[in-house]
Amino acid sequence: MNTRSERIERIINRLLGDVDTYNGNMHKDFSRLYRDYLKPFKKRILLAIFFTSIWSLFPYGAALLTRYQVDEVLMVAGNLDPSLITQQFPLFWNYVFMLFGLWTIFVICNWLKNWLILGVGQKMIYTLREQLHKKLQNLHIGYFERNESGKIVSRVLDDVKLIREWSTNQFLNFSASIFRLFLGLIIIFFINWQLSLVIVISLPLYAWTFKKIRPVIRRINIAIRRLNSEMYALSAERISGVSVVKAFSQEQQERSSFAQKMHNYVRLAMRIILHQQKLSLFAGFITTVISGLIIYLGVLNVKNNTMSFGDMMAFILIMPNLFSQINALMTIMTSIEAVFVVIHRVFTLLDEQESVVPGRISLDGMTGKVHFDDVSFTYPGQENNALKNINFHVEKGQKVALMGPSGSGKTTIFQLICRFYDPQNGSVYMGGVNLIDADPKSVRRHACMVQQEPVILSGTVADNIAYGYLEATPSMIMRAAKQAELHDFIMTMPIKYETEVGRNGISLSGGQKQRLALATALLTEPEILLLDDTTSALDAETEKKIRSTLNNVLKEHTSLIITQRIATARSCDKIIVLEDGNITQVGTHNELKKQDGFYQRIYNQQESI
Ligand code: ADP
Ligand code: MG
């Protein structure tokens, strides 16, 4: 028994860590929630509160009606003689009709309230999701490396839903409960203040019970939310990495780690139910004792003629209502902190710094010059410099090869040129403009990078090629495909340029993907073309063909080419060798092959084959 509790405690502790505690400012987060997402619907919300208040009156209306029926109608109509019961029947119907009238008003108000608030909730979800989506588009690439995609997805889907539920339904319930509680207290005080005192004294006892069990439930609640986003993360990651999972035959292992999480989820959910039952047991005990006491004192009072029978009926009808309001208030307050954790999490994501602070200067009409001036760069959250004091110039129209061992910082140089990141030290210039001051969109129009492992989007071949330039005509698309040595292959496909590729279509080989990405880049005619090992996945024959077309195409472009092949490097105007984030060699093929160093070693290797 004990070990079971300990096990669950361990699960909770692991899940909580100290990550998911609320570290925001509740007042600030709430005012932001109100200002940005609720204020626009102020009228609707006020109207909903109005209907909620009317709706809240129902139990009291019913109680007071009963009191009236008992004291003013039945008692006055006189000593209800059982033999005259049929004559008294209209009195019964009066009561039923009046109560039903109240009930109808209640139902209508409830419906109106729901209708109003549902609309607000949906609009709120829409706004939040749209903002999050936009944010995700503009975020640092680094953000996605630091945060598992599943967790991000759970922000956009689950968290937003929870926020909606809270800022609409729960918020209304909360105000209704407070309203009901105070109104109820006032009414019973008017009926009989001595008896009311008994109830008032019991309320703190009630609240105390909640206060004891509340934090326990709250902790498990937060743990459950964390587990939930872990499950999201696991499935998203494993789905995107399914080939790795399969390649290492880890399906069994994956299934069981997911099953383990689900198992824990169920355990925690059960635990919450257990505590909730405990809570209702305690609460039920207090309610029963107080009710017994009230009935006892009530009957005494009626007998002594200090209270009417109707008063006592009303009292007994209203009393459970007060308890249930306390119950509702406490439940809402139990999870309010967890909700603020979620709200804060979503706001933090919305406030996440965008990739780079957008500058204003547009690079239009710039020449294709690139200049690195003493650039040092470290990836966010990383310790080691990926680049250290990098200096180099690339003139317009030049072809420059970047070489070096894997991990030496070649791709990082490209990422800085595209301004996916800003360097911590030094500056990158494009055509004389410091990229810090440049509009990132304009930078990416000028410098286009073909990635080592390009992503192919679902759609036709033509769609993919035209992705960066949607207005392209078919003949432009075809020209780009020819330049990338892809045209002949496309013509062998079932419906040529209209063939579906990507997730729902034909799968392409690594080399074909690279050529497709190359065609996409060439179509946009960037002034600076960045090729990240683009020919690495090609056979020697195709590579040679591409190289000769590229030599033609790239005449007017400035190009930087990351390559492992001497054959590609030797035709470049300049070769830069990177090792461990430093530039160790710069020169032409003829210069470097004589120099002792990385280039010569590679040269000797490849020449000897
Ligand atoms: P190359 O392209 O020459 O193989 P990279 O420029 O990709 O090398 O990487 C340079 C260094 O920066 C490596 O140590 C690598 O581990 C690190 N690095 C690359 N990308 C990231 C990233 N997104 N986040 C953190 N570190 C990175
Ligand atoms: Mg690389």
Contacts 24+ apart (CB under 8 A), 598-602: 598/403, 598/404, 598/405, 599/403, 599/569, 599/575, 602/403, 602/564, 602/566
Candidate ranges 297-301, 464-468, 551-555; pick with highest mean pLDDT: 297-301
Pair 122, 170: CB distance under 8 Å: no
**For residue 403, which ligand has an atom nearest its CA?**
1
Contacting residues for 358 by C-beta, under 8 A, at least 6 apart: 439, 440
**Do residues 102 and 58 make contact, with C-beta atoms less than 8 angstroms apart?**
yes
The predicted-structure confidence for 543-579, as pLDDT tens digits, reads as follows 777 777 777 777 778 889 998 888 888 888 999 999 9
Question: pLDDT tens-digit profile of 367-386?
Answer: 778 899 999 999 877 788 88
Instruction: Give mean pLDDT, residues 180-205.
Output: 88
Residue 378 CB–ligand 1 contact under 6 Å = no
**Residue range 498-550, pLDDT digits in tens:** 888 876 667 777 778 888 888 888 888 888 888 887 666 667 777 777 777 77
Contacts of 540 (CB under 8 A, 6+ apart): none
Please tell me the distance from the alpha carbon of residue 110 to that of residue 51, in angstroms, as a whole number. 7
Amino acid identity for residue 158 in this structure: D
Please check the confidence at residue 387 and state whether its pLDDT lies above 60.
yes
**pLDDT value of position 81:** 61
- Phi and psi dihedrals of 363, rounded to 5? -90, 10
Among 140, 145, 412, name the best residue to mutate to test ligand 1's pocket (greatest count of ligand atoms within 8 A of Cβ): 412
What is the model's pTM? 0.59
pLDDT in tens, 135-160: 777 776 666 666 666 677 777 777 88
d(CA 565, CA 563): 6
Ligand 1, atom 21, lies closest to the CA of: 379
Percent of the chain predicted with pLDDT > 70: 87
| pLDDT > 60? residue 20 | no
Q: State the Cα–Cα distance between residues 175 and 55, nearest whole angstrom.
A: 12
Ligand 1 neighbourhood includes 415 CB (under 6 angstroms): no
pLDDT digits (tens, 9 = 90+) for 228-244: 877 777 776 666 666 66
Protein residue with least CA distance to atom 22, ligand 1: 379
Q: What spacing in Å lies between the alpha carbon of 411 and ligand 2's midpoint? A: 4
Element (H, E) at 370: strand 370-377
- The Cα 58–Cα 176 span in angstroms is 12
pLDDT of residue 86: 65
Which ligand has an atom closest to residue 382 CA?
Answer: 1
Looking at the predicted structure, is the pLDDT value of residue 250 above 70? no
| pLDDT range class, residue 2, cuts 50, 70, 90 | low
Q: Is residue 69 lining ligand 1, measured as CB closer than 6 Å?
A: no
For residue 385, which ligand has an atom nearest its CA? 1
User: Which of these ranges, 89-93, 179-183, 310-314, has the smallest mean pLDDT?
Assistant: 89-93
Q: What is the mean pLDDT of the chain?
A: 82
Question: From the CA of 144, how far away is ligand 1's center (Å)?
Answer: 15
CA 132 / ligand 2 centre spacing (Å): 30
Top mutation candidate among 355, 372, 375, 382 for ligand 1, by most atoms within 8 Å of CB: 382
Which residue's alpha carbon is at the smallest distance from atom 12 of ligand 1?
Answer: 386
Residue 355 · residue 418 · CB < 8 Å? no
Protein residue whose Cα sits closest to atom 17 of ligand 1: 386
Burial 313-348 (b: 16+ CB within 10 A, else e): bbbebbbebbbbbbbbbbbbebbbbbbbbbbbbbbe
412: three-class secondary structure by DSSP = helix
Q: 563 alpha carbon to ligand 2 midpoint, in Å? A: 10
Measured in Å, residue 578 CA sits from the centre of ligand 1 at 13
Nearest CA to ligand 1 atom 14: 407
Q: Is 284 in the pocket of ligand 1 (CB under 6 A)?
A: no
Cα separation, 343 vs 27, in Å, equals: 12
Ligand closest to 406 (CA) is 1
Separation of CA 410 and ligand 2 centre (Å):
6
Identify the residue whose C-alpha is closest to ligand 1 atom 16: 407
Ligand 2 centroid, distance to 407 Cα (angstroms): 7
Mean pLDDT, rounded, for 441-447 = 82
Residue type, 36: D
Query: How far is residue 84's CA from residue 350's CA, in Å, rounded to a whole number?
Result: 73
pLDDT at 1 over 60: no
450: left (phi over 0), alpha (psi -120 to 50) or beta: beta
What is the signed CA dihedral for 134, 163, 19, 244, rounded to 10 degrees? -50
Check residue 13 and give its pLDDT. Answer: 74
pLDDT average, residue stretch 24-34: 86
Q: For residue 408, which atom of ligand 1 is closest to its CA? A: 3
| Residue 38: pLDDT band with limits 50, 70, 90 | confident
